[in-house]
């Protein structure tokens, strides 16, 4: 297998997508990839963050996680994104970062990146599928290669059966309802496997 550089890029206000991202990083490492975990820049006012104890605690707990830049995307062979759903769409913080990739897009530096996505919401019909599909729209403009999990492993069914990417719901205590860890790990392994095969093919 060709060696793969995997970037796991997330936005999380209270920790759910950070957890998904950590599981994805674990899966990438199990598949033999060089994995880097990044958060997107936070632009919410500090007063708004301070008003929510869980949000404030999460920001403090993840202060040492590096913030992603367009150069980190260029350096990666594959990227897994994780974002909460916001009215059936991606979080504004994630959208702002994706919009900042116009320069590397214009230079053709993100063509053929292997990508996949995950998301969360507070209820099973909270827009998870729409959120992932919205994120993939940007990936099509990149010229990236979307690798969805489909129904390639039983763990996907145990996690709720979203073929576009692992998605979870969160209860009133902020805990993930589904048994999703295995699904995320499988999705990450699949991304690395496809990225490796693609990279090897281009090098042949």
Domain harbouring 127, CATH code: 3.40.50.360
Q: How many structural domains does the chain have? A: 1
- Rg of the Cα atoms in the chain: 16
Calculated CA dihedral for residues 55, 58, 64, 68, nearest 10 degrees: -60
- Residues with Cβ within 8 Å of 67's Cβ and at least 6 positions away in sequence, in order, are 38, 39, 40, 41
What are the φ and ψ backbone dihedral angles of 58, each rounded to 5 degrees? -70, -40
- Residue range(s) defining the domain that contains residue 180: 5-203
pLDDT for position 1: 72
Q: What is the pLDDT of residue 125?
A: 87
pTM of the shown model = 0.96
Per DSSP, 43 falls in state: -
Strand partners, 167: 119
Query: What tens-digit pLDDT sequence spans the chain (204 residues)?
Result: 789 999 999 999 999 999 999 999 999 999 999 999 999 999 999 999 999 999 999 999 999 999 999 999 999 999 999 999 999 999 999 999 999 999 999 999 999 999 999 999 988 889 999 999 999 999 999 999 999 999 999 999 999 999 999 999 998 888 899 899 999 999 999 999 999 999 999 887
CB within 8 Å of 60: residues ≥ 6 apart: none
Residue 184 neighbours by CB under 8 Å, 6+ apart: 20, 23, 24, 27, 118, 159, 166
Query: What DSSP string describes 117-176?
Result: EEEEESSTTSSHHHHHHHHHHHHHHHT-EE---TT-SHHHHHTT--TTS-EEEB-TTS-B
- Reported in sequence order, the residue ranges of 64-113 that DSSP labels E, i.e. its strands, are 78-86, 89-90
C-alpha 78/C-alpha 73 separation (Å) is: 8
Q: What was the pLDDT predicted at 203?
A: 86
Residue 47 CB coordination number (10 Å): 7
Phi, psi for 40 (deg, rounded to 5): -85, 160
How many whole angstroms from its chain centre is CA 43? 19
């Amino acid at each position: 297998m060709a060696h793969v550089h995997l970037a796991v890029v997330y936005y999380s206000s209270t920790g759910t997508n950070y957890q998904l991202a950590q599981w994805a990083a674990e899966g990438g490492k199990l598949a033999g990839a060089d994995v880097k975990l990044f958060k997107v820049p936070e632009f919410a006012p500090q007063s708004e963050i301070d008003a929510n104890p869980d949000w404030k605690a999460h920001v403090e707990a993840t202060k040492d996680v590096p913030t992603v830049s367009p150069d980190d995307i260029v350096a990666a062979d594959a990227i897994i994104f994780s974002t909460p759903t916001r009215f059936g769409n991606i979080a504004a913080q994630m959208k702002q970062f994706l919009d900042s990739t116009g320069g590397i897009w214009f230079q053709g530096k993100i063509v053929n990146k292997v990508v996949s996505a995950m998301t969360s919401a507070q209820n099973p019909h909270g827009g998870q599928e729409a959120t992932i599909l919205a994120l993939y729209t940007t990936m099509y403009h990149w010229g990236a290669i979307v690798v969805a999990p489909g129904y390639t492993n039983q763990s996907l069914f145990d996690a709720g059966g979203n073929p576009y990417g692992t998605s979870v719901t969160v209860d009133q205590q902020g805990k993930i309802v589904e048994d999703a860890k295995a699904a995320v790990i499988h999705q990450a392994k699949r991304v690395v496997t496809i990225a490796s095969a693609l990279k090897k093919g281009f090098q042949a």
